[in-house]
């Protein structure tokens, strides 16, 4: 598993307020009203983050692993590695796309 430095810098320290799961999409809303949209193949395989703060994001093949400050994790199976994650700020401006 390799840390995604750019995504980690973008979301580190943000607190999860809400996680919405639909077919093919997971949307994470942070307490600063920014959002992270992840196109997935199925739903989260493991989601143990709860409403904690994000510490890091890592990718390996088609998996995105989000790690909380308390060591909790969420593992998402990406629909298309390299182009399935978008982070937008509260004004809907893209902060990260990859």
pLDDT tens digits, residue range 52-91?
Answer: 899 999 998 899 999 998 888 888 999 998 889 999 999 9
In a domain, 64, yes or no: yes
Range of the structural domain that residue 9 is part of: 2-87
Residue 71 belongs to a domain: yes
Residue 63 lies in a domain: yes
What is the per-residue pLDDT for 47? 63
**Is the pLDDT at 1 greater than 80, yes or no?**
no
Q: How many domains does the chain have?
A: 1
d(CA 60, CA 19): 22
Within a domain: 94: no
In angstroms, the Cα distances linking 41 to 33, 38, 52, 69 are 25, 10, 24, 26
């Amino acid at each position: 598993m390799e840390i995604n430095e750019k995504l980690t810098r973008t979301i580190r320290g943000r607190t999860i307020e809400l996680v919405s799961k639909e077919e093919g999409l997971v949307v994470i809303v942070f307490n600063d009203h920014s959002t992270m949209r992840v196109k997935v193949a199925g739903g989260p395989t493991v989601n143990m983050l709860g409403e904690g703060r994000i510490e890091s994001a890592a990718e390996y093949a088609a998996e995105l692993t989000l790690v909380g400050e308390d060591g909790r994790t969420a593992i998402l199976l990406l629909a298309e590695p390299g182009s399935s994650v978008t982070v937008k700020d509260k004004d809907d401006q893209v902060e990260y796309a990859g």
